[in-house]
Amino acid sequence: MRAGVDVGGTFTDLVLWDGARLRTAKVPTTPEDQSKGVIEVLRSTDATTNEMIHGTTVATNALLERTGARTALVTDAGFEDLIEIGRQDRPSLYDVAVTRAQPLVESSYRVGVPRRSFDATGSGGLDFREAVAALEDLAPDAVAIGTLFSFLDPSREEALGVAVAEILPEAAISLSSRVAPEFREFERISTTVINAYLQPTMARYLGRLGASLSDVGVTGAPSVMRSSGGLIGLAAAARLPASIVLSGPAGGVVAAAALGTSLGKSSLISFDMGGTSTDVCRITDGRPQVMFERPVGGLPNRLPSVAIHTVGAGGGSLAWVDPGGALRVGPRSAGAIPGPAAYGRGGINPTVTDANLVVGRLAGGASLGEALALDLDLAQGAVVRIGDALGLSSADTAGGILEVVESHMERAIRVVSVEEGADPRDSVLVAFGGAGGMHATALARHLDMAGVIVAPHAGVFSALGLLLAPPRSDSVMGVLLEPGGDLDGAVQAVRKTAVSDLSDAGSVPVAVECTVDVRYRGQSHETSITYDPGDGWAALADRFHLAHFDRNGFARTGDPVEVIAVRAAATGRPALTFEQLPAHRGGGDARRADRMVLLPDGPGKATVWWRPDLAVGTEIVGPAIIEEPEATSYLGPGERAVVHESGALEVAW
């Protein structure tokens, strides 16, 4: 009996696998303490669970809301302000009012240690303890230690770590040589600061959760989803929280990749629209794109992460009128409390969910995972209030809210496709999340995509992805190698480390993937290329030229290349594979009563279907609404959905 529990901004979702069938549940998220919602949804199953896999947004929220620990930084004297100076890049070149993300460590909490305090080997020293003693008066909860060149020789950081632990035995300590042993000191130290900043928060949360799980029948060791799409143990996640910043959204990408493979689709874009945000990711040949650096809250994080692009566009996104009189939607959200006006929990401002109720895509009185019922009158009242400010009818206002939010999501899809040199017309959009199926076909048609797949168990699909994710360990080594260098030796070393770390965590490695970061000599940015020992420099260079051309539109095949980092990812066996899932049954009376909806040319009737009763092979022609326990899908006029044996809906037009 295995459970996947995914905490979103609005709902906490559960998928329970007993070896033969899936059970699902959904409860409102408890933002004041996510573990309460996790325990509540597990208790609702009344089942003894051997294994619980968790996707959480605690680390993400602590970073974005700046509610992490009081953190100090120990670094080389003269480099204390590096985390504030950064790279001086200009993401908004002509924006005179742009503001940079504030560092997580205040200037008074940055301690510089003179390099002369160490000998030529980087150890020993005369006065580094005196410099570190300044931390005693600061009394931070966490300390990040990041010094120059520690990715080559970690001994200096390790000595500092021992000294800090003697002064502050209760503080959480992060060393950059362990968190992100790569060159580029700003990004490495930024990642280490993020890790230290999150450590106390995540240790408390995961400790509290772990202590409560036995009360609801969880007997085995729980795991947490990593940002890279693999699993990590609770204790390891508490030590390396920077690796789980995108814990929840990664589960949906893993599930979308598995679904696409089972359907024989080679090019996909996952589209996860929940209550608070929308997450999109490009998937090629069953493999999500993985990045080895991405900003979170404006701060670089150099730990592996599925290349998800997130926008503040979800069912709970608030509609509002800006000072110029224009209708806007998001990024602010009603969240779980009070939630959309239709939830009846005190929300008075209209959201995307309220708009979908007004146009008829959602039914008044419908329940969301049996947790609450939607109130059409409350939704109508909220939409009317903003419509009066705009001088529009409630129907036009609701339709406008949906158009605006869909424009945000369309731009997000362009970011992971067009802006990365990929043509969205070659891809199928995989929709899931409670609201994904209501907007997917409109987005796909605007982008002229190849079709839409509405995932089975769409409302809890990210929780299902947790069960499909394998245990994973990542290892990296910073190098600087040119053709003729010992590339195979470096790759073998990181491969051995990744395998050893996974084995130490209690998992049996079944696959190891090695990649190397390659660039043209002197280039500022690199591209990750797969490499196995024995492939050789010539094969690596050919792959790099091709990848560089695909990504950037050109390749300099006559220029020399160099490798700056080697990486390995060891994975174990997942709790569940997509092939193990039972085939969709259906076959009951799936047709429900018709419902009036707002169509492009005015009000009209849409047929309403109950998805669990749809037989395999059934074709539904829009306008139609397909309801299921945790989600709703909408087909516009002329759109056709066919039920696949997996339960997925394949939509074309």
Tokens of 612: 């669990």
How many separate helices (H) and strands (E) can be counted in the chain? 17, 33
CA–CA distance, 232 with 240 (Å, rounded to integer): 9
Mean pLDDT of 335-351: 90
Band (337; pLDDT cuts 50, 70, 90): confident
Q: Using the predicted structure, report yes or no on whether residue 156 has a pLDDT greater than 50.
A: yes
Closest CA to 173 of 184, 188, 158: 158
Share of the chain above pLDDT 70, in %: 97
For residue 431, give Cα distances in angstroms to 152, 443, 444, 452, 545.
44, 11, 10, 7, 33
One domain, residues 20 and 78? no
Residue 370 pLDDT: 55
Say if residue 223 is in the same domain as residue 131.
no
pLDDT score recorded for residue 126: 46
Pairing verdict, β 317-321 and 327-333: antiparallel
- Do 532 and 600 have their domain in common? no
416 DSSP 8-state letter: T
Residue 116 banded pLDDT, cuts 50, 70, 90 = low
Residues 648 and 548 in one domain: no
Last residue of a domain, one of 381, 403, 425: 403
Please give the helix or strand (H or E) that residue 606 lies within, else none: strand 602-610
Whether the pLDDT of residue 235 is over 70: the answer is yes
Q: Give the mean pLDDT of 326-336.
A: 89
Whether residue 601 is found in the same domain as residue 563 = no
Quick check: is 302 in a domain? no
Q: What is the pLDDT of residue 61?
A: 83
Average pLDDT over residues 407-412: 96
Q: Tell me, what DSSP letter sits at residue 455?
A: P
Residues 39 and 98 in one domain: no
DSSP assignment, residue 314?
S
pLDDT at 121 over 70: no
Burial class, 217, CB count within 10 angstroms (exposed 0-12 / middle 13-18 / buried 19+): middle
pLDDT of residue 522: 86
Residue 373 lies in a domain: yes
On average, the pLDDT of the chain sits at 91
Q: Would residue 463 count as lying in a domain?
A: no
Tell whether 647 is covered by a domain. Answer: yes
Which pLDDT score, from 0 to 100, does residue 127 have?
A: 58
φ, ψ of residue 90 to 5 degrees: the values are -125, 85
568 within 8 A of 497, measured Cβ to Cβ? yes
- Please check the confidence at residue 439 and state whether its pLDDT lies above 90: yes
Measured CA to CA, the distance from residue 129 to residue 139 in angstroms comes to 16
Mean pLDDT for the stretch of residues 361-379: 83
Assess whether 155 and 109 both reside in one domain: yes
Q: 353-367: per-residue pLDDT in tens? A: 999 999 999 998 877
pLDDT score recorded for residue 495 = 96
Does 619 reside within a domain?
A: yes
| 467 lies in some domain | no
What pLDDT score does 588 carry? 79
In sequence order, what are the beta bridge partners of 142?
71, 172
Other C-beta atoms within 10 Å of 474: how many? 24
Type of residue found at 513: E
Query: Is residue 482 over pLDDT 80?
Result: yes
* 3-class DSSP string for 60-76: HHHHHCCCCCCEEEEEE
CATH of the domain at 12: 3.30.420.40
Q: State the CB neighbour count (10 A cutoff) for residue 162.
A: 12
SS3 of residue 250 by DSSP: helix
Which residue among 180, 215, 244 closes a domain?
Answer: 244
Contact between 278 and 409 (Cβ < 8 Å): yes
Tokens of 266: 């080679």
Pair of tokens at residue 531: 């490499």
What does the pLDDT look like over 11-51, one tens digit per residue?
Answer: 899 999 988 888 998 888 888 888 999 999 998 887 788 88
Whether residue 438 is predicted with pLDDT greater than 50 in this model: the reply is yes
The pTM of this model reads 0.90
Q: Verify that 83 and 187 share a domain, yes or no.
A: yes
Residues 176-222 have pLDDT tens digits of 999 999 989 999 999 999 999 999 999 999 999 998 998 888 888 89
Specify which residues 71 forms β-bridges with: 142
Q: Are residues 187 and 207 in the same domain?
A: no
440: number of Cβ within 10 Å: 30
Number of domains making up the chain: 5
Q: Is residue 617 part of a domain?
A: yes
Strand 561-571 to 511-520 pairing: antiparallel
User: How do residues 522-565 score in pLDDT, each as one tens digit?
Assistant: 898 899 999 999 999 999 999 999 999 988 889 999 999 999 99
Would you say residue 445 has pLDDT above 90? yes
Residue numbers of the domain that contains 502: 478-573
Residue 129 in this model has a pLDDT that exceeds 80: no
Same domain, 232 and 185: no
Q: Which residue among 174, 197, 220 closes a domain?
A: 197
Q: Do 188 and 211 fall into the same domain?
A: no
User: What pLDDT is recorded for position 120?
Assistant: 45
**CB count, 10 Å around CB of 295?**
12
For the chain, percent of residues with pLDDT exceeding 90: 70
Output the CA torsion 378→382→384→388 (10° steps): 150
DSSP letter string, 87-129 = T---SSTT-TT--PPPPSS-GGGEEEE-GGGS-TTS---SSHH
Residues 165 and 216 placed together within one structural domain of the fold: no
- Match 């908004």 to its residue by tokens: 92
Residue 393 included in any domain: yes
